[in-house]
């Protein structure tokens, strides 16, 4: 099963590269990846610097088609994982390392088994920024799984896809997790629903819907979290978040817009009581493989989760970024 992504320039969910080439060896190997770099500026970072330059992503992915029975995916590189909450300043990038990869066994048509370090099926956005419509990732992403060792069974029947998996995605008191889901399309609507269970810690229901509405790419991602036990007596044991995406496009120019609302009360799942975010990212595509974009984002929280340069708690953050990217 694959997560749903709207814009044609955005990558498939299981493979975060948007475009591919072929290396000729004794087997056909697909070569994918991308690189982004830019300037990031934000306020209310506490004692940290309020701007920086960085290579936010450099990923190289190799893959082989499982059409002959066994295939593979393997990706190396680094990703900054910049969220709308950190604005790209003071974040902790993934190291230059093996990031994800798995072997795929396809014993019969429509059925496949993946084993290795999997990319999650949960969520609308992925970690490499070149595979997303925005430079920063939604705050919603901070409550979702990303990559983890595990095994996944996929089955496709017509317009529907099903999956079930078991993995070692440790979180909180959970050392392992399992998930199941369904994806498909109905008329002009694409959808994906996943249930993700951290054994003994929490449950997550993730819903994604997307469609083309009058030439606009529109999508929504809803997450609902349920803790097995509240963090303390009288604390909340649930949280939810909703992200809405609208992308007007004109020839080589697109203007993706994202609006979010997250609420975890006193559960601590998102680390903020309630918050809203707004992000707009005008993008110019030089070719199918290269782009430059700017971004303005704003976060407003009910509690003061940020701080200014004097250490005074603040409840807002405004960020600006400029980024260039190339995919292959």
Query: What pLDDT does 19 receive?
Result: 41
Alpha carbons 276 and 263: distance in angstroms, whole number: 9
Tell me the CATH architecture of domain 20-327. Beta Barrel (2.40)
Burial 290-304 (b: 16+ CB within 10 A, else e): ebebbbebebebeee
Query: What pLDDT does 25 receive?
Result: 57
**Mean pLDDT within 126-146:** 95
- Above 80 in pLDDT, residue 8? no
Residues pairing with 293 in the sheet: 283, 323
DSSP assignment string, 269-322: SSSSSEEEEEEE--EEESSSSEEEEEEEEEEEESS--EE-TT--EESEEEEEEE
Query: What pLDDT does 152 receive?
Result: 98
pLDDT digits (tens, 9 = 90+) for 209-258: 999 988 899 999 999 999 988 888 878 899 999 999 999 999 899 999 99
pLDDT digits (tens, 9 = 90+) for 45-58: 987 778 999 999 99
Query: What pLDDT does 67 receive?
Result: 77
- Above 50 in pLDDT, residue 172? yes
Query: What pLDDT does 14 receive?
Result: 30
- Above 60 in pLDDT, residue 148? yes
Asked if residues 207 and 192 have their Cβ atoms less than 8 Å apart, the reply is: yes
Q: Where are the domains of the chain?
A: 20-327
- Above 50 in pLDDT, residue 38? yes
**Mean pLDDT within 22-40:** 81
Query: What pLDDT does 126 receive?
Result: 94
From residue 125, how far is each of 155, 200, 221, 275, 313 by CA, in Å? Answer: 23, 26, 9, 19, 30
């Amino acid at each position: 099963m694959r997560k749903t992504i709207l814009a044609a320039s955005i990558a498939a969910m299981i493979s975060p590269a948007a475009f591919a080439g072929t290396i000729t060896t004794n087997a056909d190997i697909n070569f994918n990846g991308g690189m982004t770099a830019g300037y990031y500026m934000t306020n209310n970072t506490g004692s940290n610097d309020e701007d920086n330059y960085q290579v936010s992503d450099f990923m190289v992915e190799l893959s082989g088609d499982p059409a002959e029975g066994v295939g593979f995916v393997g990706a190396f590189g680094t990703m900054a994982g910049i969220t709308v909450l950190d604005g790209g300043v003071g974040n902790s990038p993934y190291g230059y390392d093996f990031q994800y990869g798995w072997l795929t066994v396809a014993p019969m048509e429509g059925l496949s088994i993946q084993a290795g370090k999997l990319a999650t099926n949960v969520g609308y956005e992925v970690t490499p920024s070149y595979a997303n419509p925005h430079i920063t990732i939604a705050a919603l992403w901070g409550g979702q799984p990303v990559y983890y060792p595990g095994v996944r069974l996929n089955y496709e029947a017509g317009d529907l896809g099903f999956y079930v998996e078991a993995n070692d995605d440790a979180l909180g008191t959970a050392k392992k997790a399992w998930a199941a889901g369904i994806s498909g399309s109905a008329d002009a609507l694409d959808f994906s629903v996943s249930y993700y269970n951290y054994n003994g810690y929490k449950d997550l229901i993730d819903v994604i819907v997307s469609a083309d509405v009058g030439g606009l790419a529109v999508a929504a991602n809803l997450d609902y979290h349920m803790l097995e036990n509240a963090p303390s007596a009288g604390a909340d044991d649930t949280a939810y978040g909703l992200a809405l995406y609208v992308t007007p496009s004109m020839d080589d120019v697109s203007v993706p817009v994202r609006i979010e609302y997250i609420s975890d009360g006193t559960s601590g799942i998102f680390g903020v009581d309630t918050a809203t975010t707004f992000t707009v990212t005008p993008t110019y595509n030089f070719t199918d493989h290269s782009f430059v974009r700017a971004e303005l984002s704003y976060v407003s929280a009910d509690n003061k989760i940020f701080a200014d340069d004097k250490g005074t708690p603040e409840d807002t953050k405004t960020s600006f970024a400029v980024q260039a990217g190339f995919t292959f």
